[in-house]
Each structure stands twice: as C-alpha cells, then as structure tokens.
Amino acid sequence: MKIKNLENEIRKITERKENFSVLEYIQDASVSMYTAQTSYFMSKMNVHRRQVLIELDEKNPVIIQSGAMQWMAGDIHVGTGVKGVGDFVGKMFKGAVTKESAIKPVYSGTGLLALEPTYKYIILMDVGSWGRKGMTIEDGLFYACSATISQKLDRRKNLSSTALGGEGFFNLSLVGNGVAALESNVPYIELVVAELNNEELKIDGNLAMCWSSDLDFTVERTTKTLIGSAASGEGFVNVYRGTGKVLFSPVAPTSSLSQATNTMSAKAAAKNSNTLGKK
C-alpha cells in the first residue's frame, strides 16, 4: 500500500525516533472567512496540530492511549494486552491513580498507524537513556510507546512527597528500551534537562515533567527551620537526589496541561476545522 501526500507544503515531519514520527500541520488550509484570522495568528504563534505516525512491523508493536487511533493502513491487528482477571483489575487501578486510560490497546503487524491530532506538543523520548529503572512521568502525559517498554506504578516513598509534592501518591513509570511519545503543554525548546551525578535538584513547585526513577523524590523545607522557610518566602520545595535526569518546565506548571494549549482560540479553530484537534 502506498500513502501519498502525507507530507506537503502544509504538513511536515518535524521529528523522527526509531519507528515514531511527528507530523506537524504548519498551516490550517481548511478555514473559512470567519476563522481565517484566528488560524493565521495561531500558526504564527506555533499553535499547530501535531500527529504521531508509527511505522509498524512484526518486531515493533506499540501501545497507545485508549481512543488515540485515527487511522491505520496495512495488516495491523489490535489487542488489549489483558492477560487475565488479575491483570485487568491491576490495569484498572493503575489507570485510576495515574489519570491514564485503564486499558491501553496494543497494535501489531505491518503498516502505518496514525494517532489523533493534538494541539499539545509531542515529545519523543528514548526511555532506555533514563537509567536502569526507567523514567517516571507526570500524570496525563502518556500518549504511546514501544511494546518493549513496561508500565509500572511508582509509589511515593514518604508522606511528604505525596502530601506536599503535588505529584500524587502514584505516578506512571516506563521501563525498558524503546520510544515513548508524551503530550506536553510546552514545547521541548522551553524545557530544561538537569543531569544529576550523585547530586540534588530543588524545584519550587510542580514543574517536573519526568524524571529518572532511580532518583529519590522528597519534599523538604528550603531551610532547616520553619521560621527560616517563612522568612525566605519559599516554604517547601521538591527535591530530587541521586544519579539521573529531570526534565522540567520553568515557564508553566506541568499540572496545567489543559490551560497552556487548550486555549479558546485553539478550541475554536479545532471545532471549525475538517480535522478536529484532540480534546
């Protein structure tokens, strides 16, 4: 099967990692006289629809967020990945505490898989580069990954990181070798990567998008005393210790996923377009 006109003057592949690609809609050509002005300024401000394309073969199945498939071409099969009642209950619990879909379908076979367009920013991650225990991601960021990657729950090791860290009691961890596609509320160019070598990183607020699961995450006062913390005006900070990486956003809290990209203009343009943006 041949797929033509996938790339043209208004659609470009902007990133590739293994069998994952990001197709970006540089311009919305399906506008009317009522939406043209909004669409024009959206394109100038980098508010574009982006779509994940995955080239499948027999050796490279993928797992995607439930309901994320838009179209697929070729001999492609869909499975649930559920291995029994116990596995089903475990997946339901995992979905409830991480704000992800409980059952993530597995796509295998040979062909091309296209996911739903989104106005958020797609970031392709090499999971194996995040350390032996993989990477822990903020709730709601998972979009798709190689089937070679295991999904686990990362439980907070102490009450402080749960009650004060703003990251919840559980987060989703991705472990193994392969690619993960994440939906970010800010582009990668605005993110900061901190590489720790038996060191510590302190962040004031819920800014971390993902971090190496090898790191210890706690919440601590900025100074040793409550009076000192109050005087400094900082209070509590999120602390990451050990050896690994932290990817964080200095411009917007990662918990504000819907606020940064799901603006009124973006929603209006998606509603009036031939291809609706996700969410």
Q: Quick one: which of 174, 73, 172 has its CA closest to 124?
A: 174
pTM over 0.75, yes/no = yes
Domains of the chain, residue spans: 11-185+260-271
pLDDT of residue 167: 53
Q: What is the pLDDT of residues 18-30, one digit of tens each?
A: 999 999 999 888 8
Distance from C-alpha of 77 to C-alpha of 69, rounded to nearest angstrom: 12
The third-level CATH classification (topology) of the domain covering 11-185+260-271 is Double-stranded beta-helix (3.60.160)
Question: Which element (helix H / strand E) includes 145?
Answer: strand 142-146
Closest CA to 249 of 171, 194, 170, 181: 194
User: 165 to each of 13, 199, 239, 258, how far by Cα in Å?
Assistant: 37, 19, 9, 20
pLDDT tens track, the chain, 279 positions: 889 999 999 999 999 999 999 999 998 888 888 999 998 898 888 889 999 999 999 888 999 998 999 999 999 999 876 554 455 455 454 445 445 555 789 999 999 999 999 999 999 999 999 999 999 998 889 999 999 999 988 766 655 545 554 555 678 899 999 999 999 988 999 999 999 999 999 998 889 999 999 999 888 877 665 555 455 555 788 899 999 999 999 986 555 444 444 544 444 444 444 434 444
Token digits for 81?
A: 């990945």
One-letter amino acid for residue 195 of the chain: E
